[in-house]
Copies of this chain bind each other. A is one copy, B any other.
Amino acid sequence: MLPESEHAITSTDKTFLLLRKDIVEGVISSGSKLSETELSTNYSVSRAVIREAINRLESCHLVESKANVGARVVSISTEGLMELYQVREALEGMAARLAAINMTDDEIADLNTLLGTHFQTVKEGQTYYQEAGDLDFHYRIILGSKNSQLISILMDSIYHLIRMYRVQLGMSGPRVTTAFGEHKQIVQAISNRDAELAEMLMRRHILYSKNSLQLKLSGKLQAKMKAL
């Protein structure tokens, strides 16, 4: 027998991943209708496969569908993004708390190493940190919570949603300058096994991101008004 047989990947899985990618990256724009027949020809699979993929997208909150009418990609709004950040604040705050309790010493050491490499890239003025680095940091803490419910809600649903919002609203990654210091504080708290502080700092970190985002968005709005 194979060492650890991973579960097989079906045609539906591939279609789901493709569709999600296209939605998150804006190839299929927000608010647009998802025609089953059209998609089945475009992606070269039967309607049954498309239907199942759409169902999964719906459970990720990426699309909304009405009976006998069809599915649409969720339409975005500033309020929607703010709602997401509130949920994220609550869940990732709890994740940081649990991570401070449940991460192994080795995992914490790795987290510190990661922070070190980020420090290097920041010092060298590279922009890499902006996207992937921030994600990596948050992922590790979420996984470090060891709470499977928490992990699945954040990783399967919320993160993809936020990424879609970011792309569609034309926002780049999170704030670059100040974020590193906040990350450092959080890792410090986790290293000290200070669960309460870790939660508090993580919540503040996400709240800052939310406020910064809101500021950018209102700026964009004003720019649009001016253009008229």
Chain A interface (Cβ within 8 Å of chain B)?
A: 7-10, 13, 48, 51-52, 55-56, 58-59, 61, 66-69, 80, 83-84, 86-87, 89-91, 93-94, 98, 147-150, 152-153, 158
User: Contact between A83 and B148 (Cβ–Cβ < 8 Å)?
Assistant: yes
List, sorted by A's number, 16 A–B pairs whose CB atoms are closer than 8 Å: A7-B67, A7-B69, A8-B67, A9-B67, A48-B48, A56-B59, A80-B148, A83-B147, A83-B148, A83-B149, A84-B149, A86-B94, A86-B149, A86-B150, A90-B150, A149-B158
Q: Which residues of B contact A13 (CB under 8 A)?
A: 67
Do A94 and B89 have beta carbons less than 8 Å apart? yes
How distant is the Cα of A38 from the Cα of B31 in the complex, in angstroms?
A: 39
Whether B87 pairs with A147 at a CB distance below 8 angstroms is yes
Residues of B within 8 A of A148 (CB): 80, 83
Contact in complex: B98, A86 (CB < 8 Å): yes
CA–CA, A71 and B140, complex, Å: 29
**A91: which B residues are within 8 A, CB to CB?**
87, 90-91
Q: How far is the CA of A65 from the CA of B69 in the complex (A)?
A: 28
Contact of A55 among B7, B55, B84, B93 (CB under 8 A): B55
A10 touching B87, Cβ below 8 Å: no
A152 to B157, CA, bound (A): 12
- Contacts A7-B66, A149-B158 known; 7 new A-B pairs at CB < 8 A: A7-B69, A13-B67, A52-B52, A59-B59, A83-B150, A87-B94, A90-B91
Once the chains are docked, how many angstroms separate the CA of A86 from the CA of B96?
A: 12
Given A55-B52, A55-B55, A91-B87, check contact A68 B153 (CB 8 Å): no
> Among A10, A148, A149, A152, which residue has the most Cβ atoms of chain B within 10 A?
A149
Query: Shortest distance in angstroms between A187's beta carbon and chain B's nearest beta carbon?
Result: 21
CB of B67 within 8 A of CB of A147, answer no
